[in-house]
Structure 1
Amino acid sequence: MNATALVRTDKAERYLGTLCKHFTHKVSVSFEQGAKEIALPLGTYTLTVQDGGLMLTATAADQASLERVAEVITSYFERFALRENAKLNGTCAAA
């Protein structure tokens, strides 16, 4: 299962770097096909800079794990984006 969210921000590169740097101390972070991938115990999170924002994609085996992966990244993202008051509205699409 996966879910995606797009954060509209002109600081996408900064947030991608901050999130990945933070998680390298805890889990595996890799660069795959133009995106950074954070491997969490319950699933993965892929971050891609796009025009006008940062695309975030969570992937997990089941709905409960998907929700937890999204919750972890959302929590850290909102903490790092506090000054900009940027918010993720959860996952906007799931498949």
Structure 2
Amino acid sequence: MLQSKAVIATEHASKYLQQLCKHFAHKVSVDYDASQGKVDFPFGDCLMRADETSLTIECAAKTDEELARAQHVIDDHLARFAWREKPQIAWNV
């Protein structure tokens, strides 16, 4: 499994985690609470953890293409939900 991780500095980490998970739950299996979440995409899994200062997201997938797709889906949706903050997302592989 290939993995990547991003840590996004934000005071609204729990809010964004819950928004992302609630949104994805309409199409895929999701398990979450205010501080952590797990999203099972067909192309990979993403784990999220929220604390007072950051949102940490870890994605895992079988191929480079699937990992890139998981990252893109997270990037795209987080940018929409956090448009006021314009979060900087840097994935570390």
What TM-score results when the alignment is normalised by the length of structure 2?
0.90
**Structure-1 separation of matches of 2:77 and 2:29:** 16
Alignment RMSD: 1.5
Partner of residue 17, structure 1:
18
Q: 4+ runs of 1 displaced by more than 3 Å?
A: none
The count of aligned residue pairs is 91
User: What secondary structure is seen at the aligned counterpart in 1 of 2:47?
Assistant: strand
Using the TM superposition, give the Cα deviation of residue 62 of structure 1 relative to its aligned residue in structure 2, in angstroms: 1.3
- Matching residue's letter, 1:69: A
Amino acid at match of 2:50: V
**Residue 88 (structure 1) shift:** 1.4
Aligned-residue sequence identity (percent) comes to 31
Hey, what's the Cα distance between the residues in 1 that align with 2:8 and 2:77?
14
What are structure 1's unaligned runs of at least 5 residues? none
| Structure 2, unaligned runs of 5 or more | none
